[in-house]
Structure 1
Amino acid sequence: MNGAIIDAIGADIVAGELQPGDRLTLDGLQEKFGVSRTVVRDCMRILESMNLVYSKRRIGIVVQDPDTWNVFDSRIIRWRLSGPGRDSQFRTLTELRVAVEPMAAAGAARHAGEEERSTLVELAARLRLLGEAGRLEDFLAADIAFHTLLLRSSGNEMFASLDEVVAEVLTGRTHQGLMPDHPREVALQGHERVARAVAEGNGDQAMQEMAALLEEVRTAVA
């Protein structure tokens, strides 16, 4: 129940149905959702942690300006990708990936362990099999695993912390119907080339291949 309430209010804020400065009350939310005051308070605390709202004595719960939002929160990303600002969110997230993932690939080529290197190669091969078969949900799971492992193997904890952000944009692209029924050959080859460069410890090549892969993504999303 808490999750549904958080999703409903959060999505309304992100979509602009609730504007900055709009006020909510515990009584009003309790009546709207038919839940206890304790449940409403718990939900508001979570939305406050995302900087979507703030509470002020004698005023109530106030919707915050977008400039204050925690834009790296995976739930905010999900709501934005499902709302009217979808195109802008895909653009900014793809630009973030272009800035980060080539460097992460180079770092993985230097820091990844043998098991991580072999797993990347295996995941790239699995992506080809699933992509050619048109199994998009399974392809998505393998794609998330590939990019998550790459970020976590980069030797940079800042890059690693973006794993949920990248997972959300990959999920959004598939669930918003922006993936072809069969992923393009250039994308399948791109994952294979990144994995091979990381496995061989070639940081410069890994960086170049990831940049090329993300250029394909940027073009496809645009």
Structure 2
Amino acid sequence: MTGYAGRGVHGTTVELLGSRIVDGTMAPGEVLDLREIGSRMDLSLTALREAIKVLAAKGLVDSRQRRGTFVRERAEWNVLDSDVIRWRHSAGDASAMLDELAEVRAIIEPSAAGLAALRRTDEDLADFEQALADMAAAATGTAEQAAAADLAWHGLLLRSAHNEMLASMNVLVEPALRVRDSLVHNHTTDDPVPSHRAVVDAIRAGDPTAAVASTRALLDKSADDLSRVLNLLDSKESG
């Protein structure tokens, strides 16, 4: 997942401030003395003010007369923003974030599959077959290719429900799902096709009950895969 790092002074400034806010170095409610921060970090006021605009759009900071610029409460952050997700991951908050993602997916994806079973078109079914073929091919490729194929399949699932609001949920879920997929596909060689094929077969059959059940089974497997990888990483760190 790309962020602001590497985009010149502006990007570096956003990255420095954003990561410090998310990891708690700059705590909620803290007033940011831009002149002091600029002096300490060797940043210009212009760069800081531009960065503050970006961080304000992400819900991390706000500016008020007589109060100045301050860090907003965590509940006000845009936790679905791709940079906020990345900063949470870097701050060691990945486990909690991925638990939240699993809960959101458990609400959205089975319902999408049920609707897809009732509304899918021939074009949707052809796209699903291509997505499964891409997933099978990516299984012998890089972790990045495997993650991309998985993301494409899950985006297609939401679109196949033919509900514009539901389809737009992919934009919200995709950044966190990308983090999850990168972790899992870097540490497992398990074949993902059968569990995804079961969902497609139920959608093809026009069976919403089976589509919901197979999607829940897929998500259960996804949670097990992630848990196994996180336990593996924990054991390596403790060892």
Query: How many pairs does the alignment contain?
Result: 218
Partner amino acid, structure 1, of 2:99: R
The one of 139, 147, 152 aligned to 2:154: 147
The yes-or-no answer on 1:204 pairing with 2:213 is no
Within 5 Å, which residues of 2 pair with 1:67-216?
67-131=75-139, 133-175=140-182, 177-179=183-185, 181-185=187-191, 187-216=192-221
Specify the code of the residue in structure 1 equivalent to 2:162.
G
Match of 2:43 in 1: 34
| Contact in 2 for aligned 1:144/1:170 (Cα 8 Å) | yes
Q: State, as a whole percentage, how many aligned pairs show the same letter.
A: 30
Contact 2:106-2:219 at 8 Å conserved across structures: yes
TM-score after normalising by structure 1: 0.86
- Map of 1:10 onto structure 2: 18
Q: Once superposed, which parts of structure 1, at least 4 consecutive aligned residues long, lie more than 6 Å away?
A: none
Partner of 1:24: 32
Distance in 2 between residues matched to 1:4 and 1:198, nearest whole Å: 46
Listed as ranges, the gaps of 5+ residues in structure 2 are 1-7, 228-239
Q: Distance in 2 between matches of 1:28 and 1:114?
A: 61
Q: Is the 8 A contact 1:147 1:166 kept in 2?
A: no
Whole-angstrom distance in 1 between the partners of 2:177 and 2:189: 13
Counterparts in 2 of 1:207 and 1:162: CA distance versus 1, 3 Å? same
- Structure 2 distance, partners of 1:58, 1:207, is 53
Superposed CA RMSD in Å reads 2.2
Provide the rounded CA distance (Å) in 1 between the counterparts of 2:37 and 2:120: 49
User: Residue 161 of structure 1 aligns to a residue in which SS?
Assistant: helix
Aligned residues of 2:146 and 2:185 also touching (Cα < 8 A) = no
Shift of 1:190: 1.0
Task: Tell me by how many angstroms 1:95 deviates.
Answer: 1.1
Cα distance in 2 for partners of 1:196, 1:3 equals 45
CA displacement at 1:28 relative to structure 2: 4.0
Indicate if the aligned counterparts of 1:121 and 1:196 stay in contact, CA closer than 8 A.
no
Query: Aligned partners of 1:3, 1:108: CA distance in 2, in Å?
Result: 41
Q: TM-score, normalising length from structure 2?
A: 0.81
Larger relative contact order (CA 8 Å, sep ≥ 6): 1
Contact kept, 8 Å, 1:134 with 1:182, in 2: the verdict is no
